Structure formats: C-alpha cells, structure tokens
Amino acid sequence: MNAAYDTLRPARSTALGRRWRASYRGGFVREYRLVAALMLLTLLINIGVAYAPAAFPFTALMVPLLVGSLLLGPRQLQWFVIWVMLMLMVALLNQETLTARIVGATAIQFLMGFIVLLASFRRTRLGVGGVMGESMLVDLRDRILNQGGIPDLPHGWYVESALRSAGGTPFAGDFMVATQPVPERLEVVVVDVSGKGEQAGTRALLLSGAFGGLLGALPPDQFLGAANDYLLRQDWEEGFATAVHLSLDLRSGDFEIRTAGHPPAVHRVKGSGRWSVLQTEGPILGLMVDARFGCASGTLSQGDAVLLYTDGMVEEPSRDIDLGIDRLLGEAEGLLRGDFTGAAARLVDALGSRNDDRAMLVVNRT
C-alpha cells in the first residue's frame, strides 16, 4: 500500500503543480498578492493615523481604496472595501476627540466606500473591472479597426478608408470589413449598425467578426443574404443594419456592388470626369426573411474610382438624402481632382453630420 501511495504521490504533485502554474498564468496569484499588499498598506496607514496624525491625515485611508477600485477584480474588491471600512472604524475610535470635521470626513469616506462597493457589484456581471475591463474594451476596439484594414493590393490599386464616430468616441456604429479570399479579388463591406457612437459599438463589434467570417467564406452574391439571416437569428430589439458590399476583380477591374438599405455607391469615370450614382436595391438587413439584393456592375479602368460611404455622410435631419448625395458628388469633384491621396479623410472632414457616425471608402485604379 505504501508503494502504491508513493507511486500516486508524484502524479498528484505533478497535477497540483500544473494547476498552480495555470492559476498563476491566469493572474490568480498576482491578484491576491495585490490584495495582500493593499491590505498591508491600509493597516500601516491606520497605524500612522493612530500614532502620528500630523504626518498621516485621517483621509489617507482613501488612497488604498481608490487604488483597489482601479486594479482589483469584483470578487476581491468587495472584501477589500469591507476591510477598509473596518480600518476606518478603528481609526475613528483611536481619535482623542471627535470633532464635527472628523465626523463629516468619516461620513464622506463611508459614502465613498459604499459607492465603490456598488460598483464592484455591477462589475460582477462582467467578471472583470477597473484597468482590466478598460484594457479589454481597448483590445476590442483595436480588433474592430483591424477588421477594416485593407490588405496589401497589387500595383495599380489605391484603397483608402476613414471613419469618424459621433461625439469623437473610439466606438462607432459604422465599420468596415475587408478581405482578400484569393490574390486576384478584393471583398469589402461598409456597414451602418442601428444607433450611433458607443451605443451601437457593442453590436458593431459582434457584427464585424461575423461579417468578416462570412465575407471571406461565401461567394459575393450570397454574402448579404447570409448576413441578413445572421441578424435575424440574433433577435435584437434594434437588430438591423444597412450595408454596401463591393466585390472587385483586381486583374480586370470588373466589380459588383450590392446594397442593403444603404446609400448607393458612386462611380467616377476618368475619361468623362463625371461621377454617377450606382443605383441598387435591397432591404435593410435583419428585417425580412429571404431578402433579395440587386447588383450593379461595371469596370474600373485606369484613373476610375468608386466611393462607398454611410448615411452620416449624406443625410441630415433638415436635408433630403438625394441632396446630400449631390453635395457629395460636388465635393468629390473638387477635392479629388487628379489626386486621391488622403481622399477618404478629406471627404469625411468636409461632409456629413457631426452628430452621426461617418465612414468613407475610396477605391481608385491608378
């Protein structure tokens, strides 16, 4: 039996070691080390308040509370707040005289602790908080922006995009997804999710990943139908979006454009110098079952260009969308004559409503 136990003991120790290393990698040990350090700091401040009140003011106990609210997860933060409140009570009992100023400061500190405690309960729904939660949001924002990055294209093609969100926040209801499923083909979709700014940011994050997968996996004529089915399955209260999809052959310049309740793309022919609207028909994504989407096709010759944009570029409450498209064509004629460098950013800055998300994609065959 002892031999069997000796055989099992190394295996058990190895398993415990693996779990310990996994916990360490997951941040378990690091978090509890931080909790212990903050608790020790709170205790030292409390001792300082008791024996050297001139050097350690009574309100110094709020420093570890503030640091903990920024760095601790919701599970550790709740218990740490209780610890700080206990230390606050001990510090209050050690005061020689209870003046109105000390009582008022204590009440304010208890209120701050209660607010932090409520915040920790709200963070429990997410499971992370403070700096870690913010870093997750930053990572998600970077990923949605990377989804719209244009892949390296062959010589002779220039593609540029620009995005501005309502209120200047990093999150927007407008986004772009671009992919190159084969070297000779570029697939791009510009999407406008219902809502704007950070209110639509979560839906935009989800849809950017889903549309990115669909865009590279399906033939061009099936993408919008699959995107519509995906939105219908989500069953969101505000689960609709508009989109314009460009499929471009990088060898011949042939392109196909399909829209789903979205403003039409515009096409510039270098020979005539004129901009024309590519009228296509298709319902908004997420509203109709078995939706059908019309197609506009053409060819980009040398010097030609195509613009894809969202309604924030051409639509305002006091102006009809057709007038907005006319203004877009006029600005494009003046701003992009002979030079498409920085074209998307120049058009976004010159046009559209500052109270709405705006996105622009410029494709030029140089």
Q: Do 188 and 216 contact (CB within 8 A), yes or no?
A: no
Cβ neighbours of residue 233 closer than 8 Å, sequence gap 6 or more: none
pLDDT value for 343: 83
Between 234 and 222, whose confidence is greater? 222
pLDDT value for 229: 93
Report d(CA 120, CA 128) in Å as an integer: 9
User: Tokens representing 39?
Assistant: 């608790």
Q: Where are the alpha helices (DSSP H) in 293-339?
A: 321-335
**Helices 74-93 and 28-51: angle between axes, nearest 10 degrees:** 10
pLDDT band, very low/low/confident/very high, at 145 (cuts 50, 70, 90): low
Q: Do 300 and 315 contact (CB within 8 A), yes or no?
A: no
Report d(CA 53, CA 301) in Å as an integer: 80
User: Tokens representing 133?
Assistant: 């939660």
pLDDT mean across residues, the chain? 80
Percentage of residues of the chain with pLDDT beyond 90: 22
pLDDT value for 12: 44
Between 174 and 93, whose confidence is greater? 174
- pTM > 0.75: no
Please say whether the structural domain 138-365 has been given the CATH code 3.90.79.10. no
Q: Do 277 and 256 contact (CB within 8 A), yes or no?
A: no
CATH 3.60.40.10 domain extents, the chain: 138-365
Kindly state the average pLDDT of the residues 290-317.
89
pLDDT value for 199: 64
Please tell me whether residue 268 adopts helix, strand or coil conformation: strand
Lowest mean per-residue pLDDT among 12-26, 37-51, 108-122, 149-163: 12-26
Q: Do 349 and 301 contact (CB within 8 A), yes or no?
A: no
Nearest to 59 by CA among 83, 91, 81: 91
Per-residue pLDDT at 150 exceeds 70: yes
Beta strands 305-309 and 254-260 are unpaired
Nearest to 162 by CA among 283, 327, 13, 310: 310
pLDDT value for 6: 47
Per-residue pLDDT at 65 exceeds 60: yes
pLDDT value for 134: 63
Kindly state the average pLDDT of the residues 209-228.
91
pLDDT value for 170: 64
Q: Which residue has the tokens 């689960």?
A: 239
User: Tokens representing 183?
Assistant: 């070297």
Q: What is the pLDDT of residues 2-28, one digit of tens each?
A: 444 344 344 444 554 554 455 444 455
Report d(CA 188, CA 265) in Å as an integer: 13
